[in-house]
Amino acid sequence: MVTAAIRLVLVDDQPLFRSGLRMLVDSQDDLEVVGEAGDGGEAVRVVEETRPDVVLMDIRMPRTDGIESTERIMAAADASGRVPPRILVLTTFDLDEGAARAIRAGASGFVLKDAEPEFLLAAIRTVHAGTAVIAPAATRELFEHFGGAPAVRPEGSTWPPSASGSARSSCSPHADSATPRSRPRST
């Protein structure tokens, strides 16, 4: 059985960066670039025309930024009763308010622009499958930002639990960078 390629739109105001993303994505049999945009306003139009599965969205762009664009894409999909695309925000900062705002606007996560190509490809596939992705370097900062005070361990507890304990599990190499996404995805 042949699986359809994951359809992507690339959004970045730097043509050279977009070209690099396109070359990376085009090297994969299961990924297909169906559109590109140089700013957030253009992104809304391209997403409406191409109906991609995933959007790689730069957060900082002139005219319309990635946050406003994400809000508009999500609102347009909701208004028409369509399942919105997964939006993966690209940023140069580990954790900034912009990335947090993009996630609140509906983005499925964020990846640093200096991420390894293999991590970006895995992130695309992960958000397409319905799981959020957070840049691994930003995980601790994210918990501090949203969680407030650090967790307190009960007296007498030890970490890590014994190897026979039920708290131990096997995880993928990037499991610490992914969190569940509650929005359903139709296939």
Phi, psi of 47 (to 5 degrees): -65, -40
Q: Parallel, antiparallel, or unpaired: how do β-strands 86-91 and 6-11 relate? A: unpaired
Tell me what pLDDT residue 159 has: 42
Tell me what pLDDT residue 98 has: 76
Burial 28-44 (b: 16+ CB within 10 A, else e): eeebebbbbbbbbbbbb
Residue 123's SS3 state is: helix
Tell me what pLDDT residue 92 has: 84
- Residue spans of the domains in the chain: they are 7-139
Structure-token pair, residue 48: 């409406």
Helix locations, 27-84, DSSP H: 40-50, 66-80
- Residue whose C-alpha is closest to residue 72's, from 101, 38, 106, 117: 106
Phi, psi of 132 (to 5 degrees): -75, 155
Run means of pLDDT, 10 residues per run, the chain, 187 residues? 89 96 98 97 97 96 92 96 96 73 91 93 97 78 59 48 36 37 42
What class is the 7-139 domain?
A: alpha beta
Tell me what pLDDT residue 143 has: 62
Enumerate the β-bridge partners of residue 111.
90
Tell me what pLDDT residue 170 has: 29
Structure-token pair, residue 70: 């994400």
